[in-house]
Structure 1
Amino acid sequence: MSRGSDRTGPGTDERARKSPGLLLGRPFGVPVYVTSSWWIVAVLITLVYGGIVQSRLALGPSAYLLAFVFAVLLYASVLVHELAHSVVARRYGLPVRRIVLYVLGGVSEIDREAPTPGREFWIAFSGPLLSLVLAAGAFALSFFADPFSVTGELLFQLWIANLLVGVFNLLPGLPLDGGRLLGAGVWKLTGRRHTGSVVAAWGGRVLALGVVALPFLFAWSAGSTPGPWAVVWGLVLAGFMWMGASEALRNARVRARVPGLRARALARPAVAVPADLPLAQADLRAREAGAEVVVVTDGEGTPVSVVHPAAAEAISRARRAWVPVSDVARALTEHSTVSADLVGEELLTELTRYPLPEYLVVEADGALSGVLRASDVNAVMSGRAGDGRG
């Protein structure tokens, strides 16, 4: 199961830096991680499939070793599938953060969305396409091996694994690749990415309901009752798909607000004061200027820090007359400045590249336009436009 990661605000990348599991390597320069949950599936596949291998090949305990190899081949197939997404995305100039393999598949975390429906289509389709090509190749090779030999069994496992990964991911609903293909098609027809995402997300919810019903439909058609394992796996898989589709719906609503982001409009009015100015006098200048933020400058008038609201409020009225603003200010960095002309995706990209609590917003001539707080951007992106301003 593959999807690109969606950013919902300037603080998102901080969480994304945390390691999601064991680093396996960096094929094509893309970090690949496997989470500990993989062992859950590996053990279940080994136990269930081991009995099947034993009945086919009569290998004794080695049948379970071969079943474990199938679990490895299944996730190797998922990895190849995800690498196809990542390689195509990078060829289109989109940064790929990492690939994560987990209990129900894998995910390619792509930091930016494709700019056109055509590129979105090919990034999404590359994974299932490669999986099906590998399945066809292994299927063809299986004709040259004894089906009741270890080699024949491994080839059988390889083409089955890739067929499962390829076909399942083509189902038309998010978070599957087929959902991204559906979304790209709707985007192309309507000219609206948001519409495509919503349709694909609802497609994922419908598929989730279908997955729950499938074991019962198969059992009723055969005149029996569904097995408990089939029901459990159906519920687990459907739950994952429903949550992924619901997340996609939420992200679509968030992404619809991105075009409304404007650095100049979101910037809070600011006043610049020297570092040794007492806090009480800085308060007075801010009120006279109608400013909400106090920017601290050095001897040459260059902004070096921004007064931290919580730290300033902690200073009592009596002490404000002699505590300098530099004592309650948060230092600026080389990445703390953004252009007042940045809007939409360009602004969000700049903020997520270097997540900080606030940014100086400057005009083309270098004049200070105001201070943009990350909390204000997150409030707009979450639909709480007025919550961060206070």
Structure 2
Amino acid sequence: MPDPIGPASSEGPPGRPQRAPGTLRIGSIAGIDVLVTSSWFIVALLISLTFAPRIEDAEPGLGFWKYVAGFVFAVVLYLSVLLHEASHAVVAQRLGYGVNSITLHFLGGMTEIDGQSRRPRHEFWIAVVGPLTSIAVGAGAAALWFVVPDGLVRLALQGLAGANLIIGVLNLVPGLPLDGGRVLKAAVWGASGNQHRGSIVAGWGGRITALALLAWPLVMEPLTGQQPTVLDLVLVFILGLFLWTGATAAMAHARIRQRLPALVARPLARRTLTVPEDLPLAEAVRRAQEAQAGSIVTVAADGSPAGIVSEAAVTAMPAERRPWVAVSAVARRLEQGLTLPATVAGEDLILAISRRPAEEYLLVEADGTIYGVLSTADVDRAFRDNARR
């Protein structure tokens, strides 16, 4: 669940995923792809235009170069955002999680971590390290500001210090999808033993934060003596909407995950008949019907599983052709990810299916013997039935 600057969990395929449309790879950190979205160039331009008058005051006569200096400041600012995200990624890797990518975007950054946290303390450390990194960068820039003479460098340090201190403090606000929301989630999870309760509590924290942010323009003038500008209103609306939708999505995902433990692969498996790869399809279907088997698995000459016969392919094959077609012609080869342990259940089952989408999966016991075939349609049906209860 992404936040303006913070980690996000992922249920995508393992290894190096395909880049999302509109992203550009600019390098890697610890083997993790660093991506930039097209929206980053828009915000970099806005920062350049906004910062240009202050640059002109600090260094008069720069002309067009003041905008170049503003763009350089935007790059430096987002390098500090990259440090924030890299800290999430490195800690996640140290704790044994895969990290797919780091993406810099309009609202900051996102670290895509493979899977959900397994323990409350993992959730805590992965989340809290980002804001602490930003605060450390901000404090370091502020310290240098006192020893650097007047000029562009001092101005950049001032902006870098202010931005990072604000980013660090705001990200500690206890509401999802902010880092502070994940810290709150870890605290509630650790105290109650229920991860999903932690997500729901932190989601409500995010909703309250969104409402408080949307109300800020109403109290800005009485508290600060300044009227909100159009830019203030736009930014408040964008950030408030982002927080509300992110918190709501996190709560919805938590409620879904509460139902996942009821999903167990073993009782959903179809009884399976094993046949040689070169057996005629008509004979394989006859044997399956005789054995009242709901699936057919082909085996190689050495007896090892080779493929799962596709029910859709069998149905599409005309009956008059089945005696002349080998059963292997309508079987999907057992590639990596299509063989699952018979004990797989809950979120592990959903993760396995989402990583390697297919219509059927072979379930095997710990000793490698075939237990049965799991159909995705049966899993979907069981999930819907659990949702109605």
Question: Aligned runs of 1:143-154 on 2, under 5 Å?
Answer: 143-146=146-149, 148-154=150-156
> What does residue 138 of structure 2 align with?
135
Task: Judge which range, 329-338 or 73-82, deviates more.
Answer: 329-338
Q: Which residue identity does 2:97 align to in structure 1? A: L
SS at match of 1:5: strand
Q: Which residue identity does 1:24 align to in structure 2? A: I
Q: Distance in 2 between matches of 1:352 and 1:16?
A: 15
Task: Evaluate the alpha carbon distance shift between residue 378 and residue 142 of structure 1 in structure 2; reply closer, same or farther with a 3 A threshold.
Answer: farther
SS at match of 1:31: strand
Task: Evaluate the alpha carbon distance shift between residue 379 and residue 201 of structure 1 in structure 2; reply closer, same or farther with a 3 A threshold.
Answer: farther
- Please point out which of 238, 247, 267 is paired with 2:249: 247
Task: Evaluate the alpha carbon distance shift between residue 164 and residue 223 of structure 1 in structure 2; reply closer, same or farther with a 3 A threshold.
Answer: closer
Q: Are the counterparts in 2 of residues 173 and 200 from structure 1 also a CA contact under 8 Å?
A: yes
Q: Are the counterparts in 2 of residues 135 and 158 from structure 1 also a CA contact under 8 Å?
A: yes
Point out where structure 2 has 5 or more consecutive residues left out of the alignment.
none
Task: Judge which range, 233-242 or 185-194, deviates more.
Answer: 233-242
Q: Are the counterparts in 1 of residues 45 and 71 from structure 2 also a CA contact under 8 Å?
A: yes
Cα deviation digits, residues 256-301 of structure 1 (max 9, x gap): 2343343312322222223333333333332333322221223444
Q: Are the counterparts in 2 of residues 212 and 238 from structure 1 also a CA contact under 8 Å?
A: yes
Pairs aligned (count): 380
Task: Evaluate the alpha carbon distance shift between residue 200 and residue 302 of structure 1 in structure 2; reply closer, same or farther with a 3 A threshold.
Answer: same
Cα deviation digits, residues 6-49 of structure 1 (max 9, x gap): 42xxxx42898121322222222222111111011111111122
Point out where structure 1 has 5 or more consecutive residues left out of the alignment.
none
Task: Evaluate the alpha carbon distance shift between residue 369 and residue 310 of structure 1 in structure 2; reply closer, same or farther with a 3 A threshold.
Answer: same
SS at match of 1:338: strand
CA positional deviation for 1:127:
0.7
Pair 1:305-2:292 in alignment: no
Q: Which residue identity does 2:39 align to in structure 1? A: S
SS at match of 1:369: strand
Cα deviation digits, residues 230-250 of structure 1 (max 9, x gap): 111111122222222222123
Cα deviation digits, residues 182-224 of structure 1 (max 9, x gap): 1111111211000001111222122222222222321465677
Pair 1:328-2:320 in alignment: no
Q: Are the counterparts in 2 of residues 170 and 177 from structure 1 also a CA contact under 8 Å?
A: yes
Q: Are the counterparts in 1 of residues 37 and 103 from structure 2 also a CA contact under 8 Å?
A: yes
Pair 1:105-2:104 in alignment: no
Q: Are the counterparts in 2 of residues 138 and 156 from structure 1 also a CA contact under 8 Å?
A: yes
Q: Distance in 2 between matches of 1:379 and 1:48?
A: 54
Q: Are the counterparts in 2 of residues 6 and 251 from structure 1 also a CA contact under 8 Å?
A: no
Cα deviation digits, residues 305-363 of structure 1 (max 9, x gap): 11112221212233334433222221112543222233345555655665554321122
> What does residue 18 of structure 1 align with?
18
> What does residue 67 of structure 1 align with?
70
- RMSD, aligned CA: 2.7
Task: Judge which range, 107-116 or 247-256, deviates more.
Answer: 247-256
Q: Distance in 1 between matches of 2:195 and 2:276?
A: 47
SS at match of 1:97: strand
Q: Are the counterparts in 1 of residues 272 and 295 from structure 2 also a CA contact under 8 Å?
A: yes
Identical amino acids, percent of aligned pairs:
44
SS at match of 1:242: helix
Task: Evaluate the alpha carbon distance shift between residue 132 and residue 14 of structure 1 in structure 2; reply closer, same or farther with a 3 A threshold.
Answer: closer
Cα deviation digits, residues 53-77 of structure 1 (max 9, x gap): 3245435433322322221122111
Task: Evaluate the alpha carbon distance shift between residue 302 and residue 151 of structure 1 in structure 2; reply closer, same or farther with a 3 A threshold.
Answer: closer
SS at match of 2:373: strand
> What does residue 384 of structure 2 align with?
384
Pair 1:264-2:266 in alignment: yes
Cα deviation digits, residues 98-119 of structure 1 (max 9, x gap): 1111111111111133322122
Cα deviation digits, residues 76-127 of structure 1 (max 9, x gap): 1111001111111111112211111111111111113332212211111111
SS at match of 2:130: helix
Pair 1:316-2:327 in alignment: no
Q: Are the counterparts in 1 of residues 47 and 70 from structure 2 also a CA contact under 8 Å?
A: yes
SS at match of 1:209: helix
Q: Are the counterparts in 2 of residues 14 and 355 from structure 1 also a CA contact under 8 Å?
A: no
> What does residue 92 of structure 2 align with?
89
Q: Distance in 1 between matches of 2:301 and 2:28?
A: 48
Q: Are the counterparts in 1 of residues 340 and 362 from structure 2 also a CA contact under 8 Å?
A: yes
Q: Which residue identity does 1:372 align to in structure 2? A: L
> What does residue 3 of structure 1 align with?
7
Task: Evaluate the alpha carbon distance shift between residue 376 and residue 35 of structure 1 in structure 2; reply closer, same or farther with a 3 A threshold.
Answer: farther
Task: Evaluate the alpha carbon distance shift between residue 257 and residue 163 of structure 1 in structure 2; reply closer, same or farther with a 3 A threshold.
Answer: same
> What does residue 235 of structure 2 align with?
233
Q: Which residue identity does 1:74 align to in structure 2? A: L
Task: Judge which range, 313-322 or 172-181, deviates more.
Answer: 313-322
Q: Normalized against structure 2, the TM-score is what?
A: 0.88
SS at match of 1:333: coil
